[in-house]
Chain A
Amino acid sequence: MLKTYTYPRYAYHRPPELDRAGVRRVPLVVVGAGPVGLAAALDGAQRGLPVLLLDEDNTVSIGSRGVCYAKRALEIFDRLGHGAEVALGQRIVDKGVTWNVGRTFHGEQEVFSFDLLPEAGHRRPGMVNLQQYWLEQYLVEQAERQPGVELRWQNRVTHVVPSAAGVELRVETPDGPYTLQCDWLVVADGARSPIRRQLGLDIEGKVFQDRFLIADIVLERELFPADRTERRFWFEPTFFNGQSALLHREADNVWRIDFQLGWDVDPEEEKKPERVIPRVRAALDGQGFKDIGFELEWASVYAFQCRRMKNFRHGRVLFVGDAAHQVSPFGARGANSGVQDTDNLMWKLALVHRGLAPDTLLDTYDSERTEAADENILNSTRATDFMTPKTRASQVFRQAVLGLAKETPCGRALVNSGRLSVPTIHRDSPLSTPDAQAEGAAAFKGWMVPGAPADDAPLAGGPGSAGGWLLDQLGDGFVLMLFRSEPTAAERATLARLAAAPVPVRALLLPATGPAAERYDAREGTCYLMRPDQIVAARWRSLDEDAVLRALDRALGRQIAPAAASATRETA
């Protein structure tokens, strides 16, 4: 029982299948109503695929768990909030804490501090702290108002039988078992993934021999003024005998302190309040907060692994989130990368299901998201290696870096206490059309390369212009952005034909000057073809209908030979 949060108890309803003869077949089942499964369900339903979402429990995340939501994830949540009064990303930002000052210490000494001033011209900040249960509650509320999602609590999948034609599921409920068939199964059942295990699928990687204690505490009063919320990180802290510690703030004046305990500790002992409370008291006292009382809200001891499944796609079974890949918590790459999985997957699944794209399009879910998982694992492994030096040589290097960081900018650049989750740029995606000219006057500058997730930008309001934010205008279908003050009659005719295609490409007219044009290095006539997951598919200096149609074909996976998708992954 938490002091600042009451767990909702979601009602179980007797499934109609229990009282019906025959086996029902549905298009899509998602297993696991955590943040990733909920995102998958909302995305599928918004794309017109009815979703049956099954969860073995009847409430949200027990304990705060994932607490950092990064910009790209917030933007995806915004997109998943169809029909909501307040954009989902906004609810998270409003409830959560946007921290801005980061201070890093080595022992008692401050190594450096930074002010995380958000880059101007983005609707969402780089990161927001919020307890996972709040996020899940908001997502469940959204799922409840989304008629395309049927959420069944206390429905535990006990057995899965995939075949070329579909997947058969056995589901256990308080009233007994039933059988169900589906065309597609999205598996979001977490790091221990019972479905992955039952199917005997490997997940390989590195176990880090380290344990961390998380203590969530409620403070009597605030440590810092609300607009100067600090995140503090210590290497070799003086208040306990461990490698590192971290203090950051969550919603409702809950603070999290993370203690790196090392490997040779008893996890059961370490999470007992009589062990945790003195550690927390010492940490607060050590920071000059002797007079501030606290109550322990939640404590947990965890170890982590950096690993992923070799393939995220197994025919009609698609693995997403922690079920498919796991990383260290440094840098917030768990739930954040999980919702990017579903962002990548669900538009492809909807098009393939409707026969509007070939099955090979789904192979690119695997190639793109295994690429992203590798990048996440690389970044989190580098942070882990810096934070937990295992040899004498790496200890000395770490000490040298922390020393130089006090004296030089080049030393500071090497201090790695976790790099904030950022989306992967799929440079070699088979869905992208390379630029026609890489050099010369027509070449593009900046970062909106084919395969890059779209950067947001503010749009000017006023007559004939939508105002608001670019990502809102992109929405969740294919979009042709045309930077043009006054489109020609021929351009208008082209845009109208593209909008009427079997897979429609909606036109978005943007001014050729201003923040969006700058961010996309656009001139009069520049256009971008954007994928439904807001990733750049192709771009040109002028609108050419045939070129757009070829790029669309490619973005739909129609130019991939059936075996080529996996070959591309090997070389990427």
Chain B
Amino acid sequence: MNHLNVQPNLGIPGERYRHAYMPGDRFYEMLIEGHRGLTDEQSELMNARLVLLLANHIGDLRVLQEAITLARAGAAASSAPAKE
């Protein structure tokens, strides 16, 4: 059965990276850039849209359930929001 992959998995097929952090840093930059200029509400909505689109792309409900469980556990345990 397919499980949620929690190993580093970002990159472009066929591209090689001299250092392992490179594709992850690029993704994070894409993500932050994608939110640039949005209000907090708009960002929240964008994140929700992003989750829905990526979930559809993944498709496998078993994988999605594992992701939801893992994501929720860490969020439910957090006490305070990020520092202002």
Contacts and interface: CB of A to CB of B under 8 A. Distances in A.
Interface in A237-251: 243
B7 A397 contact: no
A115 to B, nearest CB: 15
Interface string B1-36: 000011111100000001111001101110110011
B70 interface: yes
A419 B23 CA distance: 13
A399 B82 contact: yes
Given A408-B6, A409-B8, A410-B6, A399 B29 contact: no
Contacts of A389: 82
Given A393-B38, A395-B83, A399-B78, A414 B43 contact: no
A425 to B, nearest CB: 7
B74 interface: yes
Given A389-B82, A409-B6, A413-B24, A397 B74 contact: no
B63 to A, nearest CB: 14
Nearest to B16: A447
Nearest to B47: A393
Nearest to B32: A394
A499 interface: no
B43 A413 contact: no
A407 interface: yes
B21 A395 contact: no
Contacts of A401: 28
B32 A414 contact: no
Contact of A410 (B8, B29, B83): B8
A516 B38 CA distance: 52
A422 B21 CA distance: 12
Given A379-B25, A414-B28, A416-B25, A394 B19 contact: no
Interface in A373-400: 379, 382, 385-386, 389, 391-400
Contacts of B8: 409-410, 413
Contacts of A236: 83
A205 interface: no
Contact of B19 (A392, A400, A422): A422
Nearest to A411: B6
Given A382-B25, A391-B35, A391-B43, A396 B18 contact: no
A393 B35 CA distance: 7
Contact of A414 (B19, B24, B70): B24
Of the candidates B44, B78, B81, B83, the one having the most CB atoms from chain A within 10 angstroms of its own CB is B83
A393 B46 CA distance: 10
A101 interface: no
Contacts of A393: 32, 35, 38, 40, 43-44, 47
A413 B27 CA distance: 11
A557 to B, nearest CB: 26
A556 B6 CA distance: 48
A293 interface: no
B25 A404 contact: no
A414 B6 CA distance: 12
Contacts of B25: 379, 382, 414, 416, 419
A394 B35 contact: yes
A404 B72 CA distance: 11
B35 A407 contact: no
A403 interface: yes
Given A386-B28, A395-B81, A447-B18, 19 more contacts: A236-B83, A382-B25, A382-B28, A385-B32, A392-B40, A392-B43, A393-B40, A394-B32, A395-B84, A397-B28, A399-B78, A399-B82, A400-B74, A403-B78, A413-B10, A414-B24, A414-B27, A416-B28, A419-B21
Interface of B: 5-10, 18-21, 24-25, 27-29, 31-32, 35-36, 38, 40, 43-44, 47, 70, 74-75, 78, 81-84
28 contacts: A236-B83, A382-B28, A385-B29, A386-B28, A392-B40, A392-B43, A393-B32, A393-B38, A393-B47, A394-B32, A395-B82, A396-B82, A397-B31, A397-B32, A398-B82, A399-B82, A403-B74, A407-B70, A407-B74, A408-B6, A408-B70, A410-B5, A410-B6, A414-B25, A414-B27, A416-B21, A416-B25, A416-B28
